[in-house]
Structure 1
Amino acid sequence: MLRIHFSDTDLLNTRVATAPDLHWELVLSMRHLRRRVVPPRYAAWHRDVVARLPPPGRARSAEAYREVALDPYWEAVRSSVDGDRALRIRALLDGGVNGLLRSYAPTMRWLPPTLHVRSAVERDRELGGRGLLLQPSHFCHGAGHLPEDPDAPPVLVHPAAQPQTGPVADKALARLMGATRAGILIAAGTACTSGELARRVGVSAPTVSHHLAALRDAGLLRTVPHGTTALHVRTRTGSALVHSSCE
């Protein structure tokens, strides 16, 4: 168990990463590649990458590995991290930093002023007023990771949250309004930018804009300004429609 101890200043300086970390995705994906058995969500990736990687000793560099194992899947990695970030932003808006830190259960347990994190090591860490950067990772599975060097920036790498809406709900909504609009409405359960929605649904930005307008006109989604961009989130009616498709 990793125990991270927060001061009041640390809580003020805690934030969520805005994008995937290439280094960690590289390191953690390589760990999965070395395993005989991988978690189901990585099974297809593992099979494809093993088939495409050159034999050991033949151009087995980090760059060659990245070209085969990460670059073709980077949109999926970004989508995974975007989804987690949207979830954490909603938790922060609803419950402040306490709500944010509580949202990481069961991987982490927030017992103020200490965050208990599943880890292969037993240690305590003081943040020294620098706060904590919470870094969601597509290839992180099970336990969190924090650099052991106390002088290194405090970055906690953790598994990105997985979508809770199942394929049954997806299909039911798709029959009602089409696959793209259903995907956008499901993804907008937490506030997202147009770019985040495009990556999560797998369509172009103009396509997203077209469907966002239709969903707004139907009263299923609303758009609110956020700095220099805008966030899109389901209305109560939109959420009721998504939830009813799960029943």
Structure 2
Amino acid sequence: MLRIHFTEADLLNTRVATAPDASWELVLSLRHLRRRVVPPRYAAWRRDVVARMPHTGGPPEDYREVAVAPYWEDIRASVDGDRALRIRALLDGGVNGLLRSYAPTMRWLPPTLHVRSAVDRDYALRGRGLVLQPSHFCHGVGHLPEDPDAPPVLVHPAAQPQSEPPGDKALARLMGATRAGILIAAGTACTAGELARRVGVSAPTVSHHLSALRDAGLLRTVPHGASVLHVRTRTGSALVNSSCAFR
């Protein structure tokens, strides 16, 4: 069990990572490759990678190109989905709500975050805050740097997608699967690229649907630095929230 101790300054400086960490995805994927039994979500990935690897008894020198790079969009979609969940928890409950949202992998008992881990360790943040890094290939436990002076980054399993609720299917029948998916994903502000990855469509396709949803008053677009974010309007949220009525 990892016990991460927060001060007030740490709570103010805690944030969620904005993208996958390529080095951690590489290391953690390799661990799954070397296991005889892997969690079901990685079974197809492992089977494909093993089939593409030369039969030399170990991973090839170009392992990243074989096992990680072809799956990068899946990795990013997994991390984006987790980030959207955490942002919603932060908006609804502040930092306490954010830290509580990681159950059952983590348990927030202020001022200490208890994290499932293969090691037993106390870790003081010392005012530096914590970067919460979701990972596609992380499973079951969290990871912190062994060096207490290294930047405090907690690598943890990205949240697993839930089965599609009936309301989502009803909304898809009403307005089409792609537009329904975009509208649902835009519950938290997203770039067009993030929406495209979550829904599984190309950038031009998502741009076309964003325009239609915006013209219908279901989405609004707001500038955010050098980026543009898209988020549901109250009308759009009302449509999503009431979609179960269309079953």
TM-score (norm 1): 0.89
Structural mapping, 1:197-208, within 5 Å: 197-208=195-206
8 A Cα contact 1:165 1:186, kept in partner: no
1:98-157 deviation line (CA, Å, top 9, x unaligned): 222122122111111111111122111001221111101011111111112212211100
Q: Out of 69, 88, 91, which is 1:90 matched to?
A: 88
Q: Deviation at 1:179? A: 2.3
Structure 2: tracts of 5 or more residues without a match: none
| Residue matched to 1:143 | 141
Task: Name the stretch that deviates more: 135-144 or 237-246.
Answer: 237-246
Deviates more, 1:106-115 or 1:88-97: 88-97
Equivalent AA in structure 1 for residue 83 of structure 2: R
- State the alpha-carbon separation in 2 of the partners of residues 98 and 90 from structure 1: 12
Aligned residues, how many?
Answer: 245
Q: Which amino acid aligns with 1:82?
A: D
Aligned counterpart, 1:31: 31
Report the secondary structure of 1:70's partner residue. helix
Counterpart for residue 188 of structure 1: 186
1:4-43 matches, cutoff 5 A: 4-43=4-43
AA at the equivalent of 1:226: H
1:46-97 per-position Cα deviation (integer Å, ceiling 9, x unaligned) = 1111111112268722xx1111111111011111111111222222223222
Please state whether the residue corresponding to 1:76 is helix, strand or coil: helix
CA gap of 1:207–1:69, structure 2 versus 1, over 3 A, is same
Residues 165 and 238 of structure 1: CA distance in aligned 2, closer, same or farther (over 3 Å):
farther
Secondary structure of the structure 2 residue equivalent to 1:37: coil
Q: Identity of paired residues, percent?
A: 85
Q: Structure 1: how far apart are the matches of 2:166 and 2:49? A: 29
Moved more, 163-172 or 10-19: 163-172
CA distance 1:165–1:212, shift in 2 (3 Å): farther
Q: Distance in 1 between matches of 2:49 and 2:59?
A: 15
- Higher mean alpha-carbon deviation, 12-21 vs 158-167, is at 158-167
Unaligned runs of 5+ in 1: none
Q: 2-side partners of 1:78 and 1:132: how far apart?
A: 21
- SS of 1:173's equivalent in the other structure is helix
Q: 5 Å matches for 1:169-188?
A: 169-188=167-186
CA RMSD of aligned residues (A): 2.1
Q: How does 1:226-241 map to 2 (within 5 A)?
A: 226-241=224-239
TM-score under structure 2 length normalisation: 0.89
Q: 1:59 to 1:43 in 2, by over 3 A?
A: closer
